[in-house]
Structure 1
Amino acid sequence: MFHHVRVRISQLLLPLSETVRVRNFSKLQVSVISNGGFSTPKSILVKVVHAEKQEKQCIDGRYYTPKNYKSYLFNCGEGTKRIYSISKHKKNAIEDIFITVTNWENLGGLKGLFTERVKYFEGEFFRKELKLYGPELMLDRFYVGKAPVYSLVNATMDSFHEDEHVQIKFIPFFPELSDEDFKGYPPSVIDETKNWKIEGVQPKMKRRMSSIVYILKLRGENNTQPAIMILDCPDKRYLSSLLESEDLKKYQSAQGTYVFHLSPTSVVEDPRYKTFIDRFHSSNEHIHVKETQEQPFHYPISTIQTALNELDNHVFPLLPSSANRNEHKYTVLRSKMNKDKVLSMTSGKTLEFANNSVKMINNFRDVAVSYKNGIQKLQNADEKYLGSVKEFVKKQKRDKVVYPVITFLGTGATTSTLLRNVTGIYLEIDPDAAILLDCGEGTFMQMYHHFGSETSKMLRKLKCIFISHLHADHIVGLASILKQRHLAFKEIGVPVEPVDIIGEDDMTSLIYTIEYFVPNILQETVLHVSRNFRSKRYMSEIHTKLNLQELTTVKALHNFGRAHSVSIKHDSGWHLVFSGDTMPSDSLIRLGFRCDILIHEATFSTQAAAGAKKSHHSTVEEAVTTSKRMKAKKTILTHFSPQTLLDEKKLILSQTDLTIAMDHMRLQRSDLEYTPLFNPFLLELSNYTFYRWR
C-alpha cells in the first residue's frame, strides 16, 4: 500500500521569513500536457523560471547544476509519464502535484511518475520528497506499492501553498447529491450527509468528492505576470456550488487572470457555466482544454506505424487515431476579430509570459521534419533489402484469419518510452473471445489508438485477464480497462458480462482498490488465484467458456516467487506460452515443451546480465536458449529495456524463428513464418529512436 501522512499546510511550512526567499523571475510557462482526447488525461504543467545563474554543486561525488525553474503539475492521469518522455519536459523536475478531483483519470499516472523519482537522471540531482495536494481522503485505498517519501496536503480544508516561487490558493466546491449517489454507502454515512448541520464545513462524503480550484500567483513585489486559475467542474452536479462560491467571486472581479478550464465540453456548454464565465472581469482570458481535440503526442507514434505499414499492412495496420490529423485548426489567443468568451488550446502547446508579452511555444519536437526524415533515411539505407521483403510479403495468401491473433499493446520494460508502452498483450483466441495478458499503465489508451471505433467491441470480446504479477508496469492499466469495458456494454444497453481475472493472492486487495474509483467492479469481475492453475488437472469455468484444453500456470522466478507464467492450449489445437517476467526456468521449459508460440521477456542484454540476475529478469541470450530448450516452433521477444536491442543485434539476426515484438504489431499465427525478416529494420529503428529521443 501507499503509506502516507496527512499534514496541514501550517505543519509543512514555517513562517516565510524563516524558510524561503522570494526569487526574481524571468518567465512563466503554462503547458497543456494532454487534453483528455483519445483516452488521455487532462493535465497542465506550470513552470516558473527564475533569472538567477546557478553554480555547479557536488553531492556524493557527483557534480550537477541545480535547475533554474520549478514545475507544478495539475492532475496526473494514466499516460502522463509517457507523454513527458515524448515532450521536452523532465519527469523528475516535478515536486508538487495538484489534483482537482479524486478520480482515476486524475490519479492513475502517479505510480508511473514515481517509478523514476529516486534516480539520478540526466545529470541533475532531485530530492526524493514529493508533495501531493488534493481533495480530502484523495489517496485512501490507492494501491501503488512501494513509493518515495511524500506528503499529502488536504486542499479541501487547507487554504494555500506557498514557496519561494509562488503562492497557490485552494478553493473547493462540492456536488449536489441525489439518492443515486448514495447507493452502496452505509446508512450512517447517508444520514450524516443528509442531516449535516455544521455551517461552514461540508460533510465528509462531500469533502471527499470536492473539486479544487487552484489559483497560482508568482511571488515578489515587482511581478507583472498574470495569475493562473485551474478549474475543473467534473459534471453538472457541481454547478450550483460553483456559482454560489463566495471565495471564487472575489477572484472573478480581479483583472489579468488566465483561466484554464478542464471541465468537460458538456459542462462548459451548459447555460449556467456560461453565466459563471460572464461574471469574470472582461480582461481575463478563458482557455478550454477540450477533450474533443486531437492529441499531438500521437504524431511520432503514428509516424513509426506508417513506416512499418509499408512493410506489411496486416502486421502493422495504420492507427485510426492519426486518420484525421489535420481536420481541426485551433485558436489559442484572443484577437480583435475573435469574440468568443472561451478559446481552445490543444495539448502540446505552451503559453509563455515574459517581458510583459505572451507567445506560443510548441513542446513537441518537429516530427514532420525531423522524425519522419530520420525514418526515411533508415528506409533509404536498406532500400534494396526492404524492397525484397515487401515483394515477398505481397505474395503471401492471407484470405482468412488464423488464430490466435496477437496484438502487442505494450512491449517495454518498467517504464514507457516513445517507441514502447509498458506490457499489455491482447490475445484473440477465436472470433468471439480474447484474453488480455498483463495490463500496464496506458493499456486502454493503446487499445484506443489501435482499434479506434472498434475499441468497445474488442472490450466486450474480452473474457479473461491474466496478470502475471503485481508490479506497476503490469497492473496499473487495469482500472481503465475495467471501467471502459463497463461503458462498452452500457453503450449497447446490455448487462455487463463478468470478466475472469487470474492473478496473485493479493489481487483481491487490488480489485477493492479499483472499486474505490470504478463502481460496480466487484459485480463485474470473477477472481481466480494463479497458483490454483498449476495442476493440469485443475478445470474451471474458464476452460469451458473459452474452449480451452489447458490453462496452466507455473511459478515464475521473479518477484520473490509471487509471479506466474501461463500456458494456453485451445481446442482447435494451437499452444501458446507467455513467460511474464522471469529468470530462466526449467519449470517453464517443461510447461511449454514443443509449443507453437512462445512469448518471452528479454529485458536485458548479455552485457547487463548482472542487472538481469539482480532484478530477476532474462537476457536476450537466455530467452533464446529457453526457446531452443523448449523446442518452441516460433518465438516472440518482448519486454525490452531501451538499450537492450542495440547490444544484441548480432544474436537476434542469427535466429530464423525469432520475432521482435513492436507496439501495435498484430500477428496471426501464420505471419510468424516470415516476420523475422522485419528484424533488421526493427533493430535499426530501435537504434535510431534510442539515440534521437533519449
Structure 2
Amino acid sequence: MEVTILNASGDGVGPSLLLSHGGGAGQYLVNAPEGFSRLVLEHKIRPCAKLSCLVLTSIRPVAAGGIGGLILRLAQDGHEKLEVTGPRGSSAFVHALRHIFRWRHPKVFVSEWTEGNVPVFEDEYVVISPILASGNCCQSCVYQQNASFSRHHEEDLLPELDEDSNPVFVRDTRGNHSIADCTAPGSSPVTTVLGYTFYLKKLNSSLLILDIPDCSTLSGMEADAILHCEQHPQGIAAVIHLSPGPVVTSEEYSRWIDNYQSFHVLVNASSPQYGLQASLRTTAMLNMVSKKFFPIPANCNECEPSAAKRSSLTSGHLLSRMVLERGSCGDIVVRMDHSKCIDNFNFTNYQEDLLKLQPWLRDKLLNMESQRCSSNQLVARAMKRSMLRQSCGQSHTAVCSSDDFEVQFFGTGSAEPSKYRGSSGVLLRLRGSAAMLLDAGEGVLGQIFRSYGEAKALEAVNSIECLWLSHKHADHVLGAVAIVCSQARARTKPLLVIGSTAVVKWLTEVGNAHAQSGFPLPAFVVMHFAEFEGSHHLGRVLETLQLKSIASVPVNHCYEAYGLVLHGQTGWHLVYSGDTRPSDRLIQAGAGCTLLIHEATFEDCLESHARKKRHSTVSEALQVGSRMQAEQVILTHFSQRYPKVVEIDVTSYPNACVAFDGMVVTSSSMRGLRELQGVVRMVLAAQDPWIAKAPPSPEGWQNDTRKRHLEESLDAPKPPSIPKHIRWESD
C-alpha cells in the first residue's frame, strides 16, 4: 500500500491522503479539501478510474470543499461509481450540489456515521471503518467477527431519478439505498469522528488516520476503544496525523502520541507549504515588470516546510509517500520516501535564474523604467509609495486615502482548474476597511490567504460586507462556503450573500447540512438579487461601502445571470460583467464607467463556441468597453486554452489589459496598466528557468532544501516501542 500526502496549506488546501494498492489496483481518498482538484492537476497525481471510496472526516471546506470539483472531474473521466463515507449531513451536503451543477455519472453512494449507524467499507484490499469519539468498541475488530455489517458488494436496484436530481444515494448499515433528502431533519445524535482505520488485508495490519477537529473533542481519544484495542489484528503499522496544529501541540494529544506504540507521521505542519507553483512562477515574472500591480505574496520567500518538533513524529510534506509492504523476514516495513517533495517557492532565486537565462530581459526592463521617467522622478515615486504604505499602516484591509477603490483578482480562469489561473474571484476594497467580494470560485479563500498571510487574510475576509455571486455555475460559487466558514463568530453583523434562486437554495441546504454534522456555519444572510434591492440590507451596504447605488443587471448567460454596476459617493463608477454574451442592458447601465471588468472567455477564432456557451470573445469584450465608453477595461475569465496571456490589439484599444491572479489595481494607478502590456507579453514568453534546466541530481543537493528534508527524516530517531513485527525504513 502506498500513501501520497497532499497538503498545501500556503495555498489554502487542507491535508488529504491518496492511498493506492500496488499498481493502482485500488485507490482510496481521505478528504477532498477545497483546491484539491487544482493541486493534483498541477502535480499529475489525480485519482484514477480505480478510485472506489472517499472518506470525509468532516464536511467543512478544509476537508470536503473540493468534493464538487472532484465529482466534475470524475464525471468527465467516465467514472461509474463512488462510495462516500462521512459524518451526518454528508448526503445533504453532496445532494445540494444539484442546484449549481448536474451529472449523471458517477453514481454517488453516501454512508453517514451516527450512534446507530457505523458504515464500514470493504473490498478485496482494505476494510475502512470510522473511529468515533463515542465509540465503546473497536469497530474494525467487531467487523471482522460480525457479518451483519454491510459490505456493499451487491449492486442493488437503484431508485429512479427525476430530472432535477443528481445520482446521490444514502446507504444505511443494511446496504439499502434511498435518494438523498436534504430536508429530512433526522433524529440521530451528532457523532464526531476522530479518524479512520484502514485494515490492509494483504499485510494483515492496519493504518490509523487521525483528524481531530479541535481540542474540545480530545477527550474522545481516551474514550474510543479502537485507540486502546489490545486485540486489534497485528496492531497498527503507522499513524498519520491530519489534526490541526493547536490539537497536535496540546498536552493531551502529545501524551497520547508518546504512549501509543506505532510510527507517527505529522502532515499538518505549522509552516505553510505552497503547491500551486506554476501560478507563483507567473507572478514572479510579472513582479519583475511591476511590483505595484503584481506584488509578491506574503511569506513566500521566508517559509520552508517545517520538520516535526517532537522526536516521536516524522514530518510528512507535500508529495511525501509512505509505503507499507511486507519485508523479506515477513515483518511489515514502513518506508518514507521524500524524493518527490518540492521546495517552497523562492521569488528572489527564481527571478535571478530568469535573468541569468535571459540576460536581454534585464536590459529591456531597465530601459522600460528609464523611458518611463527620469531618475529624479524614480526617487520621488519611490518616496511617495513609501509614504503611502506608512500612512496605510501597510494594512491589507484598508485602502489608502488617495484611492477611491482597490481591486484585486484572486481568480481569472474559467470552468476547469488550471495551473496558472484559479476560479473567479474579485475583491473590491473601498475607502476605510470595508470590502465586497465579487464571485467566489473554489480556491478563492486560499488565494487570499496566500496573498496576505494568515493574520492579514483573516482581517481581509472579515472586512467583506457583501459577497455578490453573479450566477449559479460552480466556478463562481463553490468557494462561497469557505468564505462564510472563515468569518469570525464574534462579527457584529452577519455576512450578506447575494445570488440567484439556485444559489440561495444551495447555501441554505449546505448550512443545514453543516448544522446536522455538529459544526454549524457562522451566521450569514443569503438572499436573491431582487429581494436585496427591496430590503433594509441595501441601506446598510451602501452606507458601509460608501456607495451611492448598487444595481444587479440581468445578462445573457444562464438563467438568473447578472452583471453588477456600482456608483461610489465620490463619483467613480465600476462595472463587473460576470459571465455573459455582449449585453446591451449592461452597456446602457454602465455607460461612462471608470472601470469595466469584463469576461473574455474565448479568442476571436472561437466566436461560434462563445455563442454556444454564452460567453464573450476578446474582441467582443473590448467592443463592449468601447460602446460603454469605459475609461479602463480589464479582461478576465479566460478559457484554460490560454493559460498565460491573451493577445489584445493595444493600438485599437489602448485602455485595455489582461487580468492575472494576484493583480492589484487602484483607481489612481490603473492608467499605468496601459504601458505594461507589451513587456508583460515579452516576459511571459521568456523561457521558464526552472523548467528549462534539469532538476538537481541527488549528488548535487548540497544546498537543496529537498536534501535537508530527506536527511532530517533519515536522521530522525525512530519512535520508541514500535512493535517488533513492524520495521521502518527510509529512502
Q: Distance in 2 between matches of 1:372 and 1:70?
A: 42
Q: Distance in 1 between matches of 2:570 and 2:616?
A: 31
Q: Distance in 2 between matches of 1:91 and 1:372?
A: 34
Say yes or no: does 1:72 pair with 2:28. Answer: yes
Say yes or no: does 1:210 pair with 2:180. Answer: no
Match of 1:665 in 2: 663
Match of 1:87 in 2: 43
DSSP 3-state at the match of 2:665: strand
Larger displacement relative to structure 2 (446-455 or 509-518)? 509-518
Instruction: Work out whether residues 86 and 364 of structure 1, in 8 Å CA contact, stay in contact via their aligned partners in 2.
Output: no
Say yes or no: does 1:153 pair with 2:114. Answer: no
Instruction: Work out whether residues 581 and 614 of structure 2, in 8 Å CA contact, stay in contact via their aligned partners in 1.
Output: yes
TM-superposed CA distance for 1:278, in Å, is 4.6
Larger displacement relative to structure 2 (387-396 or 659-668)? 387-396
Q: Distance in 2 between matches of 1:682 and 1:175?
A: 59
CA gap 1:573/1:158 in 2 versus in 1, 3 angstroms = same
State how 1:385-464 maps to structure 2 within 5 Å: 385-391=364-370, 395=377, 397=381, 399=385, 401-452=402-453, 453-464=455-466
Match of 1:44 in 2: 17
Quick one: which of 289, 298, 323 aligns to 2:267?
A: 289
Match of 1:547 in 2: 546
Q: Distance in 2 between matches of 1:80 and 1:507?
A: 22
Quick one: which of 316, 320, 340 aligns to 2:311?
A: 340
Quick one: which of 130, 138, 146 aligns to 2:90?
A: 138
Match of 1:24 in 2: none
Quick one: which of 25, 29, 32 aligns to 2:2?
A: 29
TM-superposed CA distance for 1:636, in Å, is 0.2
Match of 1:54 in 2: none
Q: What one-letter code is carried by the residue in structure 2 that aligns with 1:309?
A: N
TM-superposed CA distance for 1:69, in Å, is 4.4
Instruction: Work out whether residues 41 and 77 of structure 1, in 8 Å CA contact, stay in contact via their aligned partners in 2.
Output: yes
5+ unaligned residues in a row in structure 2: which ranges?
137-184, 328-332, 389-401, 692-731
Q: What one-letter code is carried by the residue in structure 1 that aligns with 2:244?
A: P
DSSP 3-state at the match of 2:265: strand
Match of 2:294 in 1: 316
CA gap 1:117/1:315 in 2 versus in 1, 3 angstroms = same
Instruction: Work out whether residues 317 and 341 of structure 2, in 8 Å CA contact, stay in contact via their aligned partners in 1.
Output: no
Q: Distance in 1 between matches of 2:585 and 2:466?
A: 24
Q: Distance in 1 between matches of 2:436 and 2:514?
A: 21
Larger displacement relative to structure 2 (390-399 or 307-316)? 390-399
Instruction: Work out whether residues 88 and 363 of structure 1, in 8 Å CA contact, stay in contact via their aligned partners in 2.
Output: no
Q: What one-letter code is carried by the residue in structure 2 that aligns with 1:144?
A: L
CA gap 1:112/1:684 in 2 versus in 1, 3 angstroms = farther
DSSP 3-state at the match of 2:668: helix
Q: Distance in 1 between matches of 2:277 and 2:522?
A: 39
Q: What one-letter code is carried by the residue in structure 2 that aligns with 1:344?
A: S
Instruction: Work out whether residues 596 and 634 of structure 2, in 8 Å CA contact, stay in contact via their aligned partners in 1.
Output: yes
Larger displacement relative to structure 2 (205-214 or 665-674)? 205-214
DSSP 3-state at the match of 1:621: helix
CA RMSD of aligned residues (A): 3.6
CA gap 1:514/1:279 in 2 versus in 1, 3 angstroms = same
Q: Distance in 2 between matches of 1:374 and 1:471?
A: 40
CA gap 1:691/1:658 in 2 versus in 1, 3 angstroms = farther
DSSP 3-state at the match of 1:569: strand
Instruction: Work out whether residues 642 and 690 of structure 1, in 8 Å CA contact, stay in contact via their aligned partners in 2.
Output: no
Match of 2:505 in 1: 509
The normalised TM-score by structure 1 is 0.77
CA gap 1:643/1:579 in 2 versus in 1, 3 angstroms = same
Instruction: Work out whether residues 379 and 386 of structure 1, in 8 Å CA contact, stay in contact via their aligned partners in 2.
Output: no
State how 1:524-535 maps to structure 2 within 5 Å: 524-531=523-530
Instruction: Work out whether residues 10 and 274 of structure 2, in 8 Å CA contact, stay in contact via their aligned partners in 1.
Output: no
Q: Distance in 1 between matches of 2:258 and 2:521?
A: 44
Identity among equivalent positions (%) equals 24
Say yes or no: does 1:589 pair with 2:541. Answer: no
TM-superposed CA distance for 1:359, in Å, is 4.2
Instruction: Work out whether residues 604 and 618 of structure 2, in 8 Å CA contact, stay in contact via their aligned partners in 1.
Output: yes
The normalised TM-score by structure 2 is 0.73
DSSP 3-state at the match of 1:144: helix
Instruction: Work out whether residues 15 and 267 of structure 2, in 8 Å CA contact, stay in contact via their aligned partners in 1.
Output: yes
Q: Distance in 1 between matches of 2:447 and 2:222?
A: 38
Instruction: Work out whether residues 34 and 64 of structure 2, in 8 Å CA contact, stay in contact via their aligned partners in 1.
Output: yes
Match of 1:351 in 2: 322
Q: Distance in 2 between matches of 1:285 and 1:279?
A: 12
Instruction: Work out whether residues 31 and 351 of structure 1, in 8 Å CA contact, stay in contact via their aligned partners in 2.
Output: yes
Match of 1:97 in 2: 54
CA gap 1:71/1:373 in 2 versus in 1, 3 angstroms = farther
Instruction: Work out whether residues 174 and 238 of structure 1, in 8 Å CA contact, stay in contact via their aligned partners in 2.
Output: no
Match of 1:631 in 2: 629
CA gap 1:112/1:550 in 2 versus in 1, 3 angstroms = same
Q: What one-letter code is carried by the residue in structure 1 that aligns with 2:86?
A: G
TM-superposed CA distance for 1:469, in Å, is 0.8
Q: What one-letter code is carried by the residue in structure 1 that aligns with 2:479?
A: G
Match of 1:16 in 2: none
Q: Distance in 2 between matches of 1:286 and 1:251?
A: 20
Match of 2:711 in 1: none
Q: Distance in 1 between matches of 2:199 and 2:686?
A: 42
CA gap 1:354/1:219 in 2 versus in 1, 3 angstroms = closer
CA gap 1:171/1:521 in 2 versus in 1, 3 angstroms = closer
TM-superposed CA distance for 1:168, in Å, is 2.7
TM-superposed CA distance for 1:257, in Å, is 0.7
Match of 2:620 in 1: 622
DSSP 3-state at the match of 1:308: helix
Q: Distance in 1 between matches of 2:231 and 2:554?
A: 59
CA gap 1:690/1:476 in 2 versus in 1, 3 angstroms = farther
TM-superposed CA distance for 1:392, in Å, is 5.2
Q: Distance in 2 between matches of 1:267 and 1:523?
A: 21
Instruction: Work out whether residues 175 and 206 of structure 1, in 8 Å CA contact, stay in contact via their aligned partners in 2.
Output: no
CA gap 1:368/1:528 in 2 versus in 1, 3 angstroms = closer
TM-superposed CA distance for 1:410, in Å, is 1.0
DSSP 3-state at the match of 2:581: coil
Match of 2:210 in 1: 231
Instruction: Work out whether residues 601 and 618 of structure 1, in 8 Å CA contact, stay in contact via their aligned partners in 2.
Output: yes
Q: Per-residue CA shift, 1:412-431, capped at 9, x if unaligned?
A: 11133222111111111223
Say yes or no: does 1:254 pair with 2:231. Answer: no
CA gap 1:379/1:525 in 2 versus in 1, 3 angstroms = farther
Instruction: Work out whether residues 282 and 684 of structure 2, in 8 Å CA contact, stay in contact via their aligned partners in 1.
Output: no
TM-superposed CA distance for 1:47, in Å, is 2.0
CA gap 1:527/1:90 in 2 versus in 1, 3 angstroms = closer
Q: Distance in 2 between matches of 1:542 and 1:244?
A: 48
Q: Per-residue CA shift, 1:142-190, capped at 9, x if unaligned?
A: 53232443111335534532224433344433399xxxxxxxxxxxxxx
Q: Distance in 2 between matches of 1:692 and 1:643?
A: 22
Q: Distance in 1 between matches of 2:596 and 2:216?
A: 51
Instruction: Work out whether residues 39 and 445 of structure 1, in 8 Å CA contact, stay in contact via their aligned partners in 2.
Output: yes
TM-superposed CA distance for 1:690, in Å, is 11
Q: Per-residue CA shift, 1:58-88, capped at 9, x if unaligned?
A: xxxxxxxxxx443321011211112212223
Match of 2:477 in 1: 475
CA gap 1:278/1:463 in 2 versus in 1, 3 angstroms = closer
Match of 2:126 in 1: 166
Q: What one-letter code is carried by the residue in structure 1 that aligns with 2:553?
A: V
Say yes or no: does 1:266 pair with 2:265. Answer: no
TM-superposed CA distance for 1:330, in Å, is 2.2
Match of 2:602 in 1: 604
DSSP 3-state at the match of 2:669: helix
Larger displacement relative to structure 2 (419-428 or 246-255)? 246-255
Match of 1:56 in 2: none
Instruction: Work out whether residues 533 and 552 of structure 1, in 8 Å CA contact, stay in contact via their aligned partners in 2.
Output: no
Q: Distance in 2 between matches of 1:594 and 1:207?
A: 58
Q: Per-residue CA shift, 1:252-274, capped at 9, x if unaligned?
A: 68346111012233333444434
Instruction: Work out whether residues 10 and 450 of structure 2, in 8 Å CA contact, stay in contact via their aligned partners in 1.
Output: no
